[in-house]
Structure 1
Amino acid sequence: MTDDHHPVSADDILATLTPERQARIRARGAELIAEEFALRDLRRAEEITQATVAERLGGRQVYVSRLEKRADMKLSTLRAYVRAIGGDLQLLVTFPEGRTVRLKDIGAAVPRVRRSPARKIKTAE
């Protein structure tokens, strides 16, 4: 008895579809991945409570709860959260031709330069 079945890759199947359909499938795949790895899910996977994260961040549990629900936040905040659960944040940029570049030092704390309030200079009269 012969086996006439040959494995087919997902890329082979996608190649048979129109570019528009491929784009829709890839976009939906990206959505599913984003949904799967929400901050809350990462924290839970590490078996860490919001209270523990809050303690590590120097804040309160309610702050962590709000943070996990945010759709948009500063990279420095995200980096601090990820470090609090034991991870390391890395950012990748993927270009249309498939080239991927890792950004470094993005979201790292940058010291702020405080300016002295402008002083009025008295002029001699």
Structure 2
Amino acid sequence: MTSFKKWSDIREEHVARAGGEEELIKTRRMIEAYVHAWHLAERRRNGGLTQSEVAEKMGVTKMRVSQIENGDVTSVEVLARYIEAIGGRLELTATFDDGTYRMGDATAAM
């Protein structure tokens, strides 16, 4: 017999200790934003661009680029501008139960 406990048996206690479901969702989103930002920063570095060069293309400070690369993105427009500055294009897709709708270039409506 193993001494391991099933996650389903102890989850509620650990969720409560972490501050509840809402806090877990908030933390998960923060971690996901950081991971996405890290991947974009890697893409920038692999493309041979510095934060200063990206800042100049975006019309922002190097500090703001650093913030974006740490997951501090305030809007889709900011994200789209960053992605364009590193040579990409942000596209939006809406997902529904019965399929997806590709909305295209995220900056087209801005």
User: Shorter-chain TM-score category?
Assistant: 0.5 to 0.7
Counterpart mapping for 1:22-37 below 5 A: 35=35
* Residues in 2 aligned to 1:60 and 1:109: alpha-carbon distance in whole angstroms: 25
- Aligned residue identity for 1:102: R
C-alpha displacement at 1:41, in angstroms? Answer: 2.2
* Residues in 2 aligned to 1:42 and 1:62: alpha-carbon distance in whole angstroms: 18
Deviations 1:70-102 (A, max 9, x none): 3542111111111111111101122234x2211
Q: Which residue number corresponds to residue 62 of structure 2?
A: 61
Bigger strand fraction = 2
Q: Which has the higher contact order (CA 8 A, sep 6+)?
A: 2
Q: Which residue number corresponds to residue 19 of structure 2?
A: none
Q: Which residue number corresponds to residue 100 of structure 1?
A: 100
Bigger helix fraction = 2
- Aligned residue identity for 1:43: R
Please list every run of 5 or more consecutive structure 2 residues that lacks an aligned counterpart in the other structure: 1-30
Q: Which residue number corresponds to residue 3 of structure 2?
A: none
Please list every run of 5 or more consecutive structure 1 residues that lacks an aligned counterpart in the other structure: 1-30, 111-125
* Residues in 1 aligned to 2:92 and 2:65: alpha-carbon distance in whole angstroms: 22
* Residues in 1 aligned to 2:65 and 2:80: alpha-carbon distance in whole angstroms: 13
C-alpha displacement at 1:51, in angstroms? Answer: 0.9
**In percent, how many aligned pairs have the same letter?**
35
Superposition TM-score, scaled by structure 2 size: 0.55
C-alpha displacement at 1:107, in angstroms? Answer: 4.6
Are the aligned partners of 1:74 and 1:107 in contact in 2 as well (CA < 8 Å)? no
Of stretches 101-110 and 65-74 in structure 1, the one that deviates more from structure 2 is 101-110
Q: Which residue number corresponds to residue 18 of structure 1?
A: none
Superposition TM-score, scaled by structure 1 size: 0.49
Are the aligned partners of 1:76 and 1:109 in contact in 2 as well (CA < 8 Å)? no
